[in-house]
Amino acid sequence: MAELRRDPIVGRWIIVDTDHPSQPKDYEYDPHTWKGGACPFCYGNEGMTPPEIDAIREPNTAVNTSGWLNRVVPNKFPALQIEGSLERKGIGIYDMSNGIGAHEVLIDSPYHNKDIPDLLNEEVERMIALYCRRSCDLMKDKRFKYIMLFKNFGAAAGASLEHPHSQIIALPMVPKNVMEEIHGADEYFDYRERCIFCDILRQETQEKERIIMENKYFLSFFPFVSRFPFELWILPKNHAPHFCFMPKEEIPFLASILKDTIGSLRKLFPNMPYNFIIHTSPANGETAAHEGYHWHIEFMPKLTRVAGFEWGTGFYIVPTSPELATKFIREVQN
């Protein structure tokens, strides 16, 4: 019989197929392909992008030239514009405002054909350090209430360019999905005087059924209430609400566990497309201080599609339990 599992943070239910679970070989997905051609994100093509906002560079190299190790440019087709004022207004029962925000592209490395598992640890460290730097800088703009940092890898995951890159969008309000998670964490903290994410860490560490990797500062695991097959989370062991204020000494450990965890999953699913999202606390007042919130990364391989039942109910059907997913990942790690 299938299992129903309830997410203790947001109250979402999922259905786990325990009668006829899917094996890794059962998943048919659209693998990422490297086609080549003129790429605006490649080394030497700096003139093909808008002027850079920030970069980590070799010494004595000029802005918008070669010599960069990681680079940030404005999105050529931004979802939101940084210039202007919000000007909230109502039209009858509807609320509106100008599309104020920021939309930046963070080029992960100069290499067109290398994703995170293919990079050296120090290259992933620089990428994460630039994530933090851009997030902290955007938080200085008092118009922005939430900084969303995410990565789409592969066309099936929404990437329009194949050169590996991440994106950061600053929003003038806190998204609904984020508020649901924050409210759930706040309610748990108010009732138990403990962080729910810290409790999840403790339980996962005790049970050891769903852990993928662990180091001094981070844990990666398949969550008990996964929405998607082989969805994984990476949580810092030290309680912290904001990603971008992560201590510098933790960055190498995050780089290592992110690189190795994705690399292990890629052994099961070669060239898998995926999304990952960094969940963090809001910025600049307006629900910015949350004792019970704990930043984390949610990583979702694009192995299945959301269909009518999921859209209609908010339930997710998971063909492979997280416990079975852990068994498969451990087999390729050995």
Any idea which residues carry the catalytic annotation? 165
CA distance 201 to 178: 20
56/71 Cα distance (integer angstroms): 6
Backbone angles phi, psi at 54, to 5 degrees: -160, 160
Q: Which of 318, 329, 209 is nearest to 266 (CA)?
A: 329
DSSP-assigned beta bridge partners for residue 171: 146
Q: Distance between CA atoms of 237 and 219, rounded to whole angstroms?
A: 7
Which single residue is written with the structure tokens 């940084």?
A: 82
Sign of CA dihedral 266, 270, 271, 275: negative
> Kind of pairing, strands 94-96 and 89-91?
antiparallel
For the beta carbon of residue 307, count every other beta carbon within 10 angstroms. 9
**CB of 246 within 8 A of CB of 254?**
yes
